[in-house]
Amino acid sequence: DAGVIQSPRHEVTEMGQEVTLRCKPISGHNSLFWYRQTMMRGLELLIYFNNNVPIDDSGMPEDRFSAKMPNASFSTLKIQPSEPRDSAVYFCASITTGGTEAFFGQGTRLTVV
Amino acid sequence: AQSVSQHNHHVILSEAASLELGCNYSYGGTVNLFWYVQYPGQHLQLLLKYFSGDPLVKGIKGFEAEFIKSKFSFNLRKPSVQWSDTAEYFCAVNTNAGKSTFGDGTTLTVKP
């Protein structure tokens, strides 16, 4: 298995533009997590899905952020409109059945100018 | 709600020094415990994990951690650090609901 795959690896966009981050979890994993990492706030859990259903989105900072998981092999995190303070590295992780070890993608480094 | 506390924000050691990073969690139920490492410019990688059994867990690269249930702690240790251990270390807790909570991280700098 290729592991958790995130795309793009880097994204630079202008303030106000829509940004879509993508994640392909490891096949067979039934939980998927979106995290944001910044120097100031460290690693923050934004939202997590279990069996494609959003379970806890209390970490989503604002209504500008939305996440979907249309099927077991794909999830998106969308920011619309983007702002400079959204600049961060966004990680996706998937977890084996039973909620044990999390496998992380390589992250998407987002810069909003 | 569960939470994870890492006591040291930044630790600076010389090579060959011993390391102990503190991690405490708050959750009343069954948990699985993890330490992750993030080397500069790289993504998170699993160092070691505890599910059940022997509370002293050995991981990769000479790291180990001890689960002390009465103290809700899972401290990470290494007898002799190397320059290549310079990284950020995250403690994490998974509950049986599948939710994963991370500590704020500890940055370790090892001076050659």
* Paired tokens of B24: 């405490």
Q: In a mutagenesis test of the B interface, which of A26, A100, A103 is the best target, namely the one with the most B β-carbons within 10 Å?
A: A100
Determine the Cα–Cα distance for residues B41 and B38; give it in Å rounded to an integer: 8
SS3 B86: coil
Of residues A15 and A56, more confidence is placed in: A15
Helix (DSSP H) and strand (DSSP E) numbers for chain A: 0, 11
The mean pLDDT of chain B is 89
Reported as a single tens digit per residue, the pLDDT across A88-101 is 999 999 987 655 57
pLDDT (mean) for A64-86: 96
pLDDT, position B76: 97
Percent of chain A predicted with pLDDT > 70? 95
**pLDDT value at residue A43:** 79
Enumerate residues 52 to 81 of chain A having a beta carbon within 8 A of any beta carbon in chain B: 55-56
Lowest-pLDDT range of A35-39, A43-47, B98-102 = B98-102
Closest Cβ–Cβ partner in A50, A104, A106 for B98: A50
Paired strand residues for B16: none
Burial class (CB in 10 A: 0-12, 13-18, 19+), B70: exposed
Q: Which of these, A85, A94, A71, A81, lies nearest to A3 by C-alpha position?
A: A94
pLDDT for B32-52, tens place per residue? 888 999 888 777 888 888 888
Instruction: Indicate if the pLDDT at residue B75 is higher than 60.
Output: yes
Comparing A15-24, A55-64, B18-27, B73-82, the range with the smallest average pLDDT is: A55-64
Rg (CA), chain B: 13
Q: Are B100 and A42 within 8 A, CB to CB?
A: no
